[in-house]
Amino acid sequence: MNVLLMQSAELHIYTDFLRLVLEIINAILTYALPRNPEVVYAIMHKQDVFQPFKNHPRFNELIENIYTVLDFFNSRIDAQRMEGEWSVDEVLQVVIEHCRSWRVDGMKMFTQLHFTYEQESHPEEFFIPYVWQLVLSRCGIEFNAPAINLFPADLPTEKLDNEEVGNTSHNSDFH
């Protein structure tokens, strides 16, 4: 039974994620389509991906908007009656040309999405190891990786005349 609960929870997470992706696509198509012809091209190129979700109760209104856009641009491509295979540039040019005449009529309007960045209480727990991983893998300088201490305890400090000067670690500590 525990496995079924885990699978159900996992399915719910995937469903929520897919809905969020579809909401983002819808926001682009509804509020910024003329400035995003590459998104329209990508959706046209992979339009078969949306078919399985067309009748799903959590996605159908989002998918309807995507198909409204697909129908509009597919009909414009079909009207060109070009012989042979279309190149990426030719399709993109038609999309760009018709983005100017696109109207949101017939699209279901959703609340515009707003995202805010919320900083974690200790972002260094992610960023310091990540940055060091980038430094180690790409800088071309040989480091003794085991000698790197990413989260040092209080470093000893030198004191002169009761004033803290700083830590006593030197560049030679990193080999």
pLDDT digits (tens, 9 = 90+) for 50-106: 999 998 888 988 999 999 999 999 999 988 877 778 888 999 999 999 998 888 887
**DSSP 3-state assignment of 171?**
helix
For the chain, give the mean pLDDT.
81
Q: Distance (Å, rounded) from C-alpha 105 to C-alpha 80?
A: 23
Q: How confident is the model at residue 162 (pLDDT cuts 50, 70, 90)?
A: low
Q: Distance (Å, rounded) from C-alpha 169 to C-alpha 174?
A: 9
pLDDT tens for 112-134 read 777 777 888 888 888 888 887 88
pLDDT of residue 45: 94
pLDDT of residue 103: 86
Q: How confident is the model at residue 160 (pLDDT cuts 50, 70, 90)?
A: low
E strand spans, the chain: 157-160, 163-167
pLDDT, average across residues 7-25: 90
pLDDT of residue 93: 92
| Residue 124 backbone phi and psi in degrees, to 5 | -65, -25
Given a cut of 70, whether residue 49 has pLDDT beyond it is yes
110: its two tokens: 């959703």
pLDDT of residue 65: 92
